[in-house]
Amino acid sequence: MKKSIAIALMVLVLICITSCTNGKNKNETNTNFDEKIELILDTDVGADCDDMLALAYIAYAEKNMNVDLKAITCSSSADYGISAIKTFYKDLGMIPPSIGYASKSMPKYDNYCKQIVEKFGTENEYTKDNDAISVLRQALVESEKATICAIGPLSNISALLNSQPDEISALDGKTLLKEKCEKIVIMSGKFENQESLTPEWNTSLDIEASQNVVNNFPAPVYFVSYELGNSLFTGKAIMDKYQYDNPVSMAYMLYPGVIEAGGRPSWDPLSVYFAIGDSKEYLKLSQELTVTINDDGRSYINNEIKSNHYIIYFKDESIKDEISKYFDDCVIALYKSKG
């Protein structure tokens, strides 16, 4: 009798496990999230190769998670920047979202965009779409509550914040952001040694814009610091597998010192990782605080004043290799799915 009961219980457990597993797999074919993430990406593609990995990770998320990329804007003036983004999507057989060129003249850092376009693109991709401000305003109008992820200098976001009513929206930029933006995640700031800081790269390229965004943005501001991304290397598995055979791997292969180092720090993928909510298991937030950017570009923390600012940290330093592998695996899965 006891044996029969035990067997019955085992069968019941197996049925439950099978049912739960099948249900999970069924859902994961469409999304990993209950709510859609409306994402806007502002990138200085060309300046560093991890922008391309961030772009590939978003493409993976579009295919496998409930992520809707509303727009991409370029905060770099690299001649082939927009063309490289279009070429990246063309190579994957995907349609890119609206793309906007830089709102102001910025340095033309280009370590790989021209080569990507020449190998994988066509002349027709060397074009400009609309200006970043129009693209950003339109993307916000078409969103319910968007998340902005800015992984370069904040020139475009500052110009959006200062923008005036136009044919796209009767609202000024700050009001439009207040109504339509849930949060902004920025790759900005050095915080570990407050006494001997140097300016973080993105911040230093447009200090005034960084100050404007940090001081006046009407939604929560989340900081992915230099220190956080600098300790997380990605790209080796991608380079080993693909060499120059796709735009992402090519960007890593061409970026100075990456082959020798066996990868590149992952500031930008980490920013996207947090922005789309795929990181709750591994990342945590500081308490609400205030970040101030001085006129020399250095970033300071004030824990006493609450200004809707948060700094992102690892929950556990030991999981960094796991996150790095996850990013590389996502890119490899993306290109496998290309067929």
138 and 168 Cβ atoms separated by less than 8 Å: yes
Span 265-271, average pLDDT = 97
- The count of domains in the chain is 1
Kindly tell me if the per-residue pLDDT of 259 is higher than 90. yes
Confidence of residue 41 (pLDDT cuts 50, 70, 90): very high
Span 120-147, average pLDDT = 86
Considering only 64-68, 196-200, 227-231, 248-252, which range has the smallest mean pLDDT? 196-200
Give the per-residue SS3 of 161-230. Answer: HHCCCCCCCCCCHHHHHHHHEEEEEEECCCCCCCCCCCCCHHHHHCHHHHHHHHHHCCCCEEEECHHHHH
> What pLDDT shows up at residue 99?
95
Domain extent, residue 212, equals: 36-337
When the pLDDT of each residue in the chain is averaged and rounded to a whole number, the result is 88
> What pLDDT shows up at residue 30?
32
Span 315-325, average pLDDT = 94
- Residue 8 domain flag: no
Kindly tell me if the per-residue pLDDT of 6 is higher than 50. no
CATH of the domain at 196: 3.90.245.10
Confidence of residue 33 (pLDDT cuts 50, 70, 90): low
Q: How far apart are CA 44 and CA 98, in angstroms?
A: 16
- Residue 61 domain flag: yes
- Residue 16 domain flag: no
> What pLDDT shows up at residue 18?
34
Q: How far apart are CA 210 and CA 218, in angstroms?
A: 14
> What pLDDT shows up at residue 192?
83
> What pLDDT shows up at residue 279?
85
Kindly tell me if the per-residue pLDDT of 277 is higher than 70. yes
Confidence of residue 13 (pLDDT cuts 50, 70, 90): very low
Q: How far apart are CA 274 and CA 283, in angstroms?
A: 8
Does residue 131 or residue 8 have the better pLDDT? 131
159-204 tens-digit pLDDT: 999 999 999 999 999 999 999 999 999 999 999 876 667 899 999 9
- How far apart, in Å, do the first and last CA atoms of the chain sit? 55
Percent of the chain with pLDDT over 90: 80
- Residue 22 domain flag: no
Confidence of residue 107 (pLDDT cuts 50, 70, 90): confident
Percent of the chain with pLDDT over 70: 86
- Residue 4 domain flag: no
Q: Pull the structure tokens for residue 111.
A: 């370590």
Kindly tell me if the per-residue pLDDT of 31 is higher than 70. no
- Residue 240 domain flag: yes
Kindly tell me if the per-residue pLDDT of 229 is higher than 90. yes
- Residue 19 domain flag: no
Phi then psi for 150, rounded to 5 degrees?
Answer: -110, 115
> What pLDDT shows up at residue 197?
77
Considering only 20-24, 30-34, 196-200, 211-215, which range has the smallest mean pLDDT? 20-24
